[in-house]
Structures are given as C-alpha cells and as structure tokens.
Amino acid sequence: MTKDFWRIVGGFSLLIPGFLILIVLPEVGVPLALLGTRLLGDRFKWAKSLNGRIDRGWAKMKLRLKKFRGK
C-alpha cells in the first residue's frame, strides 16, 4: 500500500466524522474536518478549497467568540 492510499483513507476517516460531530460539538468537529481536508488537500482540489473555507470560517468564529466574551 502506498503513502497516498493511507493519506486518502486517513483523510476521509477524519473528514466524515468531523462533519457529523460538527453539528453537535463544533469545537471537536472543526479540528477533525481540518485534519481530514489537510490530508486530502494534496490529492484533491476540492479538499484544498474546502480547507481554506473551513480555516476562514473558524477564524471568523473565534473573533466573534472573543467579542462576545469581551476579550
């Protein structure tokens, strides 16, 4: 088995549960989804694009939480 195969298997193994968990526990789901898209990003263009969108959305959410908490 090649390294590419294991990156793809690992990426999907993190991506799918990451999105399912994202609905209930975003603080756990987002990192899982990010790890999955980062593993898949070298091989698939859609994963690289999705990774960028998740990164930007997570950064916006962190800013909103900081403003909400007053920090």
Q: Could you tell me which residue, 52 or 1, shows the higher pLDDT?
A: 52
As for how many domains the chain has, the answer is: 1
pLDDT score at 70: 78
pLDDT category at 71 given cuts 50, 70, 90 is low
Give start and end residues of each alpha helix (H) in the chain: 3-24, 26-41, 45-69
Domain that residue 13 falls in: 3-69
Asked whether the whole model's pTM tops 0.85, one would answer: no
From the number of C-beta atoms within 10 Å of its C-beta (0-12, 13-18, 19+), residue 33 rates as buried
User: How large is the average pLDDT for residues 57-68?
Assistant: 87
